[in-house]
Amino acid sequence: MPAIIINGPAGRIEARYHHSREKDAPLALILHPAPERGGTMNHRIPFTMFNVFKERGFSVIRFNFRGVGESQGLYDKGEGELSDAAAVLDWMQSMNLTAPYVWVGGFAFGAWIGMQLLMRRPEIKGFVSVSPPANEIDFSFLAPCPQSGLVIHGNKDNIVPEPTVEKVVERLNTQRGIHVDYRVIDGANHFFSDHMDNMVDHMHDYLDKRNVGQTPPLRGNLSTNKTDKSKLSQKAA
């Protein structure tokens, strides 16, 4: 898949874009982890999330935030990166004028940026947040959270302790009109080592429940932490 260059607020943005063969396909924007910690669009988790939406018939894009790879500019602690995400979404929408809706997905820092973008762009109708950094960042800006979505976390995450994410999800689920489906994967660390297929199947399962895109076959890896089954939603959100 060749690189594309998008004009962004800090200069060129390096991206990878898949255009769906489906007519009027929905759109998905995938966001990578923290640049100052080595995060790029080719990190295995955002790369895998990109492929999930691709498999489901979405037109989907991932890109490097400013200062990463061939993207110009300097790391801006979130503010500039949010502007980068908005510019990339604008570009993708200009290429897909009849797209019915948008989803956003992100890992760690990218999950935080995606949730901020969700607050600003009403065309975003759902989200997938993997390992949101609830121990480092205040998520109280999600008041109210405008859309339902999926949060995936590992109960062996030693970078973002699982209880900090649970508190954010519990607070969001007190809001009327939305539901955040929280899935805690038993044994998974922050990077889902040896649990990537499990993460993928939870994404497909949730997107099936929301009736979003096409439905590839599951890999049969929907295991979760037995003590946290109450956090799973069994209905479409």
The predicted-structure confidence for 73-119, as pLDDT tens digits, reads as follows: 999 999 999 999 999 999 999 999 999 999 999 999 999 999 999 99
Place of tokens 């590992």: 154
Mean pLDDT throughout 62-66? 98
- Flag whether 237 is in a domain: no
* pLDDT value at residue 214: 84
At 217, the pLDDT band (50, 70, 90 cuts) reads: low
- Flag whether 190 is in a domain: yes
- Flag whether 196 is in a domain: yes
* pLDDT value at residue 125: 98
- The whole-chain average pLDDT of the chain stands at 92
- Flag whether 75 is in a domain: yes
- Flag whether 226 is in a domain: yes
Q: Domain span at residue 28?
A: 3-231
- Flag whether 236 is in a domain: no
pLDDT, tens digit, 9 for 90 and up, residues 144-168: 999 999 999 999 999 999 999 999 9
- Flag whether 13 is in a domain: yes
Alpha-carbon distance of 162 to 219, in angstroms, equals 25
* pLDDT value at residue 176: 94
Work out how many domains the chain is built from and give that number: 1
CATH of the domain at 219: 3.40.50.1820
Give, in order, the Cα–Cα distances in Å from 197 to each of 170, 185, 232: 26, 11, 18
27-31 and 59-63 strand pairing = parallel
Of 31-35, 52-56, 219-223, where does mean pLDDT reach its minimum?
219-223
Tokens of 77: 């602690």
